[in-house]
Structures are given as C-alpha cells and as structure tokens.
A = this chain, B = another copy of it.
Amino acid sequence: MPRPTKQSPERGNARHRLLEAARDIIRAKGFAATSVDDLCRAADVTKGAFFHHFASKDALGVAVADFWAETTTDFFAAAPYHAPPDPLARVLAYVAFRKAIILGEIAEFTCLVGTLAQEVYATAPDIRDACGRSIFGHTDTLVVDIEAARIDRGIADDWTAESLARHTQAVIQGGFVLAKAGNDPALARESLDHLDRYIRHLFHVT
C-alpha cells in the first residue's frame, strides 16, 4: 500500500507543522520574541519553505490566529458541555468545562489569540482583527444557550446574552493574566468559580 501521495493541504506538510510550532512557541514566548528561525527549527523546515507558505512573519501571525480559531471551534463543538437538555445547564457546564481544562503547564491551557491580541493590537491590525474574530466568534457560540436560558427562565434584566457571553471571555482571559502574573493556574480557576456563582445569581439558581 503506497503511503499517501496527494498530500492534503492541512495535514503533515510544512505549512501545518509551522502553524503548530507557532501556536506552541508564541504561546510561551510571545510573538515578537519568537523568531522565524525558531519556528523553522521547531517545525524542521527551512526558511525558504517558511516564506513559500507565508508572505511575512505578520502573515504567519494572521494564519496562526485563524488556525487557532478553526481548531478551537472544532474542540469546543466536540466538548461534552452541550449534552444537558436544559440551556442554563449547558451554560454552567461550559464554565465548568473551561475550569476543568485548566491543567498542566500555563502555556498549555492559556489562549493564543488573547496573548497575541494583547501584544500586537497597536502594531499589527491584521493580526489583532484575526484574534478578535477568533474570540468573538467563540462568544457567538455561547449566545444561543444563554438567550435560550434567559427566555426559558423568564429573566428580564438589564443585560444581554451577547454581553454576558463576552463577560465570560473577559473572566477567562483575565484569569489567564493572573495565572501568568502569579505563576499559578489556580488563579485562573478561582475566577471561574466567581463566574459560575454570578451566572447562578443571574438566573436565580440556589
């Protein structure tokens, strides 16, 4: 049996390996501190291959933010928190899931596009916007359940589902910042407990 001849544009080739290396290294060292040579070395690829696939380092930044958006979309779509029939239970299960996946090294559970946006927001608008699409695209997936829970429970308050969805991301991102500053993942989990309590308050859950 021949090994795969027509190589898929998404699996195992230099471009894909470079994106994986970028995802891992940029999360640990930041974008500016990550050199093109670093990425080539990690992906076992030459510089010629890098600039064949990406017009510039900034273009790699945009591509890796898009790559992050795709992979996290798939990851969360396949996650178990969608199982409960009750929409509010799904929202709370989401928060619990986000807390549960805060494990291991800090660079392994923190958010690429959060750190990337924080670093380049003023210097690389293209990368910043790609990060924004990833973050706010994810919040959109939460809005449906929050809004359903809101109608379901007859909550009439002065907040919107979109706003609460964004707030969940703010708490998660802020937890990551504190975890990094304090060098302790528990700091990220702690804020998710407060978020859980807040949502229960909003929906009058005891």
Q: Please report A residues at the B interface, Cβ cutoff 8 Å.
A: 28-33, 106-107, 113-115, 117-123, 125, 128-129, 131-132, 135-136, 159, 163-164, 166-167, 169-178, 180-183, 187, 190-191, 193-194, 197-198, 201-202
Residues of B within 8 A of A182 (CB): 132, 135-136
- The 3 closest A-B CB pairs, nearest first, are A174-B174, A170-B174, A32-B32
Residues of B within 8 A of A181 (CB): 113-114, 117-118, 121, 128, 131-132, 135-136
Are A122 and B175 touching (Cβ within 8 A)? no
**Interchain Cβ contacts under 8 Å between A and B, 9 examples:** A29-B123, A114-B177, A115-B119, A131-B181, A136-B182, A166-B190, A170-B178, A171-B171, A201-B202
Are A30 and B29 touching (Cβ within 8 A)? no
Residues of B within 8 A of A171 (CB): 167, 170-171, 174, 191
Residues of B within 8 A of A183 (CB): 121, 125, 128-129, 132
Whole-angstrom distance between the Cβ of A24 and the nearest chain B Cβ: 11
Q: How far is the CA of A30 from the CA of B26 in the complex (A)?
A: 14
Whole-angstrom distance between the Cβ of A15 and the nearest chain B Cβ: 25
Q: How far is the CA of A187 from the CA of B162 in the complex (A)?
A: 11
Q: How far is the CA of A89 from the CA of B12 in the complex (A)?
A: 58
Are B119 and A30 touching (Cβ within 8 A)? yes
Whole-angstrom distance between the Cβ of A66 and the nearest chain B Cβ: 14
Determine the residue in chain B with the shortest Cβ distance to A27. Answer: B122
Q: How far is the CA of A187 from the CA of B172 in the complex (A)?
A: 14
Residues of B within 8 A of A163 (CB): 190, 193-194
Q: How far is the CA of A68 from the CA of B120 in the complex (A)?
A: 21
With contacts A29-B123, A201-B198 known, is A170 near B175, CB below 8 A? yes
